[in-house]
Structure 1
Amino acid sequence: MSMLKAAILMDPIVGIKPAKDTTFAMLLAAQARGHQCWVFTLPDLFLRDGGAWGRLSAVVARDGVEGYCTLGEPEERPLSDMDVVLMRKDPPVDLEYLTACYLLEHAGTWVVNDPISLRNANEKLYALHFPDFLPPLLVSRDLGDLRAFLAEHGEIVVKPLSARGGEGVFYLHLQDRNVGSILETVTGWGRHYVMAQRYLPAIRAGDKRILLVDGVPVLGAMLRVPSASDFRGNLVAGALAVAAELTDRDQEICAAIGPALRAAGLLFVGLDVIGGYVTEINVTSPTGAREIKRFCGVDAADLLWQRLEQGR
């Protein structure tokens, strides 16, 4: 196994929660396998003379201690110096995120996940390619359409298309007197598309996060159980993480979706599954590796590096 040089584009490493952070897990796994890593942020990415560059800081990560990382002085380098660039910037997928993906097309090296596919695979909409595994849903900006969908199903969840961590997600039911105000807010009075999904009561048991590496599911999963005061299965919204196993239905879902992910260069992906239905396909910076390793003993971050060592 030869040493890889890897640059990781992420949010500022100072201020993360290393015990929960999957990108930090990737750094630890890389070091354990003898690879050398640099980190940089969105403002550090630029294009010069047709090639993408970064102001890269060498990083040493340490697990379970207060001073969890040491950063070297930033150095401007072409990304083509690297064997691989990991795109791990958190959403929202806004114009700056999309622009970064355009620049990363000119990295001159392997970028994971593939920047073209990151632009194409909206985390709410990409699942539409696999309709057999979806709950009833509607994508619209029309308030009348959304009200009709609510009337049809009685209980729905409405979510923006480019947010994360449960931000801007609402549960609506027919007796809710705030329906009009909520729909006006999430659509910006009909200016923005949103996704409405039939509410799935199985969310009370948890929102399952399944990680796939190169299209293959990691053998273990995490359930995010909503708190008593919230309906959202997001850890940042107060959900509790518990261990879970892959069911036959989960395996069926992964067998159908995995090959498409692999073909698109989406090597590290998180599926959200509620009651046997896929609700999102997370491709930007999927989380859950730390929890799944703690619960199941399987290190998804290490599996990613094993795949990266094989080359494109």
Structure 2
Amino acid sequence: MTIKLGIVMDSIKNIDIKKDSSFAILLKAQEKKYQIYYMEINDLYLIKNKSYARTRLLKIEKNKTKWFYFISEQYIKLSQLNIILMRKDPPCDSKFIYATYILESAEKEGVLVINKPQSLRDCNEKIFATSFPDLTPDSLVTSNSLLIRKFIKQHNDVIIKPINSMGGNSIFRINKNDHNISVILEIMTKKNNSYCMVQNYLPEIKLGDKRILIIDGKPFPWCLARKPQKGETRGNLSAGGIGITQKLSEDDYKIANYVALKLKNMGLFFVGIDIIGNKLTEINITSPTCICEIESYCKISITELIIDGIEKKLSQKDKHI
């Protein structure tokens, strides 16, 4: 049987194929002779509680000048697909939330959706980490500037970041003597109208912000430690961080294994967790990255593990029909 795989992602026209994790997964799926149905978030729709989408049959190749071809366009019921990968990048705004309702309808119609739509709604990538308070830095989630000032006074050195962003965007490091506190808090809270997260600064960031990939409840044994450049606080690759592939430490395994059990139980099949030192800082569930960077060094196929895991889930689902 030919497996029909749908993917919801940002425009494929704008990706960097050298490091795009969605592209890497699709390459492996194509190698396995899957039919790939490409969708963007605006293509999804619902009629009488049945899920549909405008799709384009997709062919891809490792060619930096022309990496994709649309073979045909079809409006289909999502129930015609075997699996849908939801790989839309943040922000997880109202459009993203509405899309999860449509994908949840597809799930009820028998489609395997990765990651589970309800969990995509329930688990904000910043706030979800606080579900494990023993593993995380001291954290404050608020839109109240006065509470943030008290937190800064208590910890002296803190990181403040938006709840609904990615890639190191709008992350500030502040200490209690910073002359720019007022303007930073005005910007971050939109004058007490927008939530943000504040955490105590972890000096271990100098050794790297470790991205650990978890596939179907199992941590991959290598991670990418993203080290900030001199004069920077952020280790994100998109913010100029330098990625170094390394084996998971004993502490990394302890944290990853502890978190992985809950992730699997919530239908979160492919996840990237971030660890600084021995502290869990984020749980990335929308479109985890760093597949290409890790694979290029350790020579173990992460995409093979993902596709094998998908096929196992499809097989288990078929047995219960």
Question: Compared with structure 1, are the counterparts of its residues 291 and 64 closer, same or farther at alpha carbon in structure 2 (3 Å cutoff)?
Answer: farther
Per the alignment, residue 8 of structure 1 pairs with 7
Please tell me whether the aligned partners of residues 101 and 115 of structure 1 are also in contact (alpha carbons under 8 angstroms). Answer: yes
Per the alignment, residue 50 of structure 1 pairs with 49
Per the alignment, residue 282 of structure 2 pairs with 280
Per the alignment, residue 29 of structure 1 pairs with 28
Q: Deviations over 1:77-96 (max 9, x none)?
A: 11100000000000000000
1:229 Cα deviation (Å)?
A: 3.6
Asked if residue 75 in structure 1 is aligned to residue 74 in structure 2, the reply is: yes
Rounded to whole Å, the distance in 2 between the matches of 1:23 and 1:154 is: 39
Per the alignment, residue 59 of structure 2 pairs with 60
Rounded to whole Å, the distance in 1 between the matches of 2:300 and 2:280 is: 23
Structure 1 segment 139-158 matched on structure 2, within 5 A:
139-158=141-160
Rounded to whole Å, the distance in 1 between the matches of 2:73 and 2:235 is: 38
1:285 Cα deviation (Å)?
A: 0.4
Per the alignment, residue 296 of structure 2 pairs with 294
Asked if residue 241 in structure 1 is aligned to residue 240 in structure 2, the reply is: no
Rounded to whole Å, the distance in 1 between the matches of 2:182 and 2:14 is: 38
Q: Deviations over 1:119-143 (max 9, x none)?
A: 0010011111111111111112221
Rounded to whole Å, the distance in 1 between the matches of 2:91 and 2:26 is: 23
One-letter amino acid of the structure 2 residue matched with residue 288 of structure 1? C
TM-score (norm 1): 0.97
Q: Secondary structure at the match of 1:111?
A: strand
Per the alignment, residue 214 of structure 2 pairs with 212
Per the alignment, residue 111 of structure 1 pairs with 113
Structure 1 segment 153-232 matched on structure 2, within 5 A:
153-232=155-234
Rounded to whole Å, the distance in 2 between the matches of 1:295 and 1:189 is: 45
Structure 2: tracts of 5 or more residues without a match: none
Rounded to whole Å, the distance in 2 between the matches of 1:98 and 1:299 is: 32
Structure 1: tracts of 5 or more residues without a match: none
Rounded to whole Å, the distance in 2 between the matches of 1:219 and 1:60 is: 31
Q: Deviations over 1:63-107 (max 9, x none)?
A: 254221211232101110000000000000000000101111111
1:54 Cα deviation (Å)?
A: 1.1
Choose the corresponding residue for 1:130, options 129, 132, 135.
132
TM-score (norm 2): 0.94
Identity percentage of aligned residues: 36
Per the alignment, residue 98 of structure 1 pairs with 97
One-letter amino acid of the structure 1 residue matched with residue 211 of structure 2? R
One-letter amino acid of the structure 1 residue matched with residue 14 of structure 2? G
Q: Deviations over 1:154-210 (max 9, x none)?
A: 110001111111112111012210011101110111112211000011111211000
1:298 Cα deviation (Å)?
A: 2.2
One-letter amino acid of the structure 2 residue matched with residue 195 of structure 1? M
Aligned-pair RMSD on alpha carbons?
A: 1.2
Q: Deviations over 1:38-70 (max 9, x none)?
A: 111011111123211111111112125422121
1:230 Cα deviation (Å)?
A: 2.0
Q: Secondary structure at the match of 1:116?
A: helix
Rounded to whole Å, the distance in 1 between the matches of 2:230 and 2:169 is: 18
Q: Deviations over 1:256-310 (max 9, x none)?
A: 1111111111000000000111100000001010111012112222211101101
Q: Secondary structure at the match of 1:175?
A: coil
